[in-house]
Structure 1
Amino acid sequence: MTDPRPILFLDVDGPLNPWRAPVGRAPAGYTTLPMRPTGWEEPHPPLPVRLDPRHGPLLLGLGYRLVWASTWGPEANTWIAPVLGLPTLPYVDWLRPPYRASDGVHWKTRRLVAVADGWPFAWVDDEIGEPDRSWISRNHPGQVLLRCVDPAVGLLADDFEALRAWGKGR
């Protein structure tokens, strides 16, 4: 039997890692951790990643099937999930490198709709725009919640409340 829960596609940088917050001033509750995912090995300095461990239990309590929708790919399970207390999660295989679509649709949008395959989903990212909303409304028959998060502050209480309400009310 298919899992009846809606999918929650999670981006890392922006929603979980508020990378645009001023240097040295992570939002309250966040810890800055030095990480070395693929591409950040020596001689590069460690990548400073800001994470709030309270987000893991909040995400798990939403009632979604959590799926990484980030360029971190499977490395989100190595670097991000343990800090948040999340189990190993499935991730979207992007199939090709990121690109900029000439129609303004984000490079993730088409792939997420394909992965959802008509299933209800929510998508949390810091780069969702009107072209994505429009394209998804024309190309995805299932219910959708698109939540654009400010990359300077990350996920906030109202984001979790919107996700919770949409998941229960669909």
Structure 2
Amino acid sequence: MMGTARPPLLFLDVDGPLIPFGAAPQQYPTYETHHQSPGNPLLARINPEHGRRLMGLPCELVWATTWMTDANECICPRIGLPQLAVVTWPEPSDLDEQDARDGMHWKTRALVDWAAGRPFAWVDDEITDVDRAWVSAHHSRQALLYRVDPRQGLTDADYAALNEWLHRTYGAPSQTAS
């Protein structure tokens, strides 16, 4: 399979995938980095290894989070990522209300629009089968909607699954993401 001209997009949420939550607070390790950000103690839960591991994936990383540009300011320096593109969310509409009643995530339409026909993976802790079905019906290229357990955040198994899908989609030989 020939690789596409541009790698797939990887839309990345922050709360859940990078900042685990939902279990007992003492369960979470904290990490000291040389880029400490005052104000949000949950940032200490972000494993700085995420930056290296994300950069090792054959994709174009894009923030898909309510953190918006704050993700570039607070998280990128902390984990060694360059500044990333940021999905700007549209204003809520009647469609969003109908989508919510149907069980679809409010990000789904916007991410398909942002992808503009490019293959993409979306990493979030709130993805459902309703989102998968809608993307399958409305996006002509490959898409992986990958749900992360918010109590654990991204794990070795998650990186392995993303790495394998991205390499298969991009047409490059798979490598071990460690």
Same fold (TM over 0.5): yes
Is 1:52 aligned with 2:51? Answer: no
Distance in 2 between the 1:3 and 1:77 partners?
26
The 5 A counterparts of 1:21-170 are 21-27=23-29, 30-31=30-31, 35-36=38-39, 46-49=40-43, 50-96=45-91, 101-170=100-169
Q: 1:134 & 1:76 partners in 2: Cα distance?
A: 29
SS at 1:119 equivalent: coil
Task: Report the structure, 1 or 2, having the larger strand content.
Answer: 1
Structure with more of its chain in helix, by fraction: 2
Give the alignment's Cα RMSD to 1 decimal: 2.0
Figure out how many residues of one structure are paired with residues of the other and give that number: 158
**1:103 CA displacement:** 1.2
- TM-score, structure 1 normalization: 0.86
Shift of 1:8: 0.2
**What amino acid maps onto 1:64 in structure 2?**
C
State the distance in 1 between where 2:5 and 2:77 align. Answer: 24
Match of 1:39 in 2: none
Separation in structure 1 between the aligned mates of residue 10 and residue 122 of structure 2, nearest angstrom: 6
Contact 1:35 1:79 survives alignment (8 Å):
no
Q: Percent identity?
A: 48
| Distance change (3 Å), C-alpha of 1:103 and 1:4 | same
| Runs ≥4 residues deviating over 3 A | 32-36, 97-100
Q: Give 1:118 shift.
A: 1.1
Moved more, 148-157 or 98-107: 98-107
